[in-house]
Amino acid sequence: MNPTVQALLQFLQTWWVELASGFVIVAAVPLVAGYVVLVERKLMADMQARLGPMRVGPHGLLQPIADAVKLLIKEDIIPDNADKVIFWLAPVVSMTAALTSMGAIAFGPAFQVARDINVGLLFIVGVSSLGLFGIVLGGWASNSHYSIIGALRSTAQLVSYETAAGLAIVSGLLLAGSLKIHAIVDAQYQNHVWFIFLAPVAFFIYAVASIAETNRAPFDLPEAESELVAGYMTEYSGFRWALYFLGEYANMIVVGAVATTLFLGGWLRPFPNVHWLNWLDVLPALFTAAVGVYCARRAGKQPVAVQTWFMWGVAWACFAVAAILAVPLFVAPLKFVVPGLHGAFWFLLKVGGYIYLFMWLRFTLPRYRFDQLMSLGWYILIPLAIVNVFCVGLAMICETEYGWNRWVALVVTTMFTLGTALFLLHLHEKRTAAASSATGVTEQPAPQDTYAG
């Protein structure tokens, strides 16, 4: 065996775990993103007194697959004299950015593709910010006036809200003390508290900024502006458009994962240190079993035979997962599996909750106008984030140097931050009042007599 093959084998030997989980991510994420789309449509329907997709599969469970196939088959139109290479490249960039940043996310103490890079969290944030190029190049390559305006607007929005998100993460990192994902979650375990309670303002700022960063809910301006129709995505069709769409949902998962790791205690059980609450470990198995029972009960009522079979299949899958989660609790030799599996369950539950918040906002809130959106970002969020970083730092110093109790220090500093927030809002009110009265005044010259003209 010549050395190169030998070296190759040796390389595969050491890194096969990473490669395998890499393939799993690239395959699983589009599927998961598809089902997140289905959940969103179902939730939206539920909140709007209607049923949502019910046709494809029982309760529309096969809808994502049907969508994917449809998008694959759909005609793939490329606008003429558009820049072919970049037109193809843009959605790919936006999807790869989301997927690579998922490489560093730890879905549980055991499931992490890149075995804990030293700059874990920064890597995730950095690579996911590259998704911006997908949008910019997409807008530019489709060579239509409206796509370029849409692309420019979404870039401006992403760049300004990334600053706010970055600063919010910095204040979270101050508490955590390290960039390594495992270290952050352990810090929350050691401190016996999730950082959302220590730095609530930071979590709020990050939540708002991450909504804007994934172009969703009240900030989904670039593609929702009525005269821009679909912003940078207008000229895309078929699978290219699907790539953008999945990129957005994958980004949502990434942002949810970062928020969970940093603020919501990653894969920690709600009360990890409290030992008499250990019965909570049964919850994951219980939860999945309940879902299984629901599917089983619904299976009987399906109109078409094949749907009944499918529902039974889903029910059995849920029961199997419940068994996997429950059995190691009692069987001694399998004890080592418990933290990994349960951690993954709690992590996914929290990310699911975070994404539920995204969706909830999307169905209830109207959309910001572009200048309101930018002024909110620059006049309120970024200064507040800076002040927050300063306050959390101050609190840490008081705690270590002057021996204040940590909670007291943080409560005081949070009050101070909220004070600045109110002050900023007051300033914002005065500015918008001044602005609207200014436009108001100029608009109404003396009512000239229309008939005289």
Partner 1 sequence: MLDKVIFFFFAGVAILSAALMVTRRNAIHSAIFLITALMATAGIFLQLRAEFLFVTQIILYVGGIMVLFIFVIMLVRLDVALHQIRFRLQRLVALLVVVALGAEVSVMFWVARKIPGDGLLIRGSAPVDKLPPNTEALAKSLFSSYLLPFEIASVLLLVAMVGAVVMAKKRTDAQ
Partner 2 sequence: MHDDATQKNTLLGADELVLNMGPQHPSTHGVLRVKLKLDGERVRGTECVIGYLHRGVEKIAEHRTYQQFAPYVDRMDYVAAVSNGLGYCEAVEKLMNVEAPPRARVIRTILTELQRIASHLLWLGTHALDIGALTPLFYCMREREEILKIFEKYCGARLTTHAFRIGGLQYEAYDTLEKDVERFCKDFERRVQEYVDLLTGNSIWIGRTRGVGVLSAADCIALGASGPILRASGVKWDLRRAQPYAAYDQYKFEIPVGTNGDTYDRYMVRMEEMRQSRLICLQAIENIPAGPILGKVGKVLKPPPGEIYHSIEAPKGILGYYIVSDGTTQPYRVRIRPPSFVNLQALDKMVRGHLVADVVAIIGTLDIVLGEVDR
Q: Verify binding: residue 126, partner 1, rule CB under 8 A.
A: yes
What is the Rg, in whole angstroms, of the alpha carbon atoms belonging to the chain? 25
Spatial separation of the C-alpha atoms in residues 73 and 68, rounded to whole Å: 9
What 3-state class would DSSP assign to 66?
A: helix
For partner 2, the closer CB: 3 or 440:
440
Q: Which of these ranges, 52-60, 268-276, 363-371, 402-410, lies near partner 2 under the rule CB under 8 A? A: 363-371
Spatial separation of the C-alpha atoms in residues 282 and 235, rounded to whole Å: 50
Whether 205 and 414 have beta carbons less than 8 Å apart is answered as: no
Among partner 1, partner 2, none, the one that 218 touches (CB under a kind-dependent 5 to 8 A) is: partner 2
Nearest to residue 267, comparing CAs of 206, 350, 191? 350
Choose, by CB under 8 A, the member of 62, 74, 155, 291 that binds partner 1.
155
Shortest Å distance, C-beta 421 to partner 2 = 14
What 3-state class would DSSP assign to 49?
A: coil
Q: Verify binding: residue 19, partner 1, rule CB under 8 A.
A: no
Whether 207 and 259 have beta carbons less than 8 Å apart is answered as: yes
Shortest Å distance, C-beta 3 to partner 1 = 8
Among partner 1, partner 2, none, the one that 129 touches (CB under a kind-dependent 5 to 8 A) is: partner 1
**Total residues found in the chain within this entry:** 453
Total of chain residues touching partner 1, rule CB under 8 A: 29
Residue at 114: amino acid letter: A
Q: Verify binding: residue 357, partner 1, rule CB under 8 A.
A: no
Spatial separation of the C-alpha atoms in residues 47 and 51, rounded to whole Å: 9
Q: Verify binding: residue 400, partner 1, rule CB under 8 A.
A: no
Q: Verify binding: residue 173, partner 1, rule CB under 8 A.
A: no
DSSP string across 389-452: HHHHHHHHHHHHTS---HHHHHHHHHHHHHHHHHHHHHHHHHHHHHHHHHHHHHH--S---TTT
For partner 2, the closer CB: 65 or 152:
152
φ, ψ (nearest 5 deg) of residue 237: -145, 165
Q: Verify binding: residue 133, partner 1, rule CB under 8 A.
A: yes
Binding mask 30-49 for partner 2 (x = CB under 8 A): --------------x--xxx
Shortest Å distance, C-beta 194 to partner 1 = 24
Shortest Å distance, C-beta 207 to partner 2 = 16
Contacts to partner 2 from residues 136-165, by CB under 8 A: 145-146, 148-149, 152
Q: Verify binding: residue 227, partner 2, rule CB under 8 A.
A: yes
Among partner 2, partner 1, none, the one that 225 touches (CB under a kind-dependent 5 to 8 A) is: partner 2
Q: Verify binding: residue 369, partner 2, rule CB under 8 A.
A: yes
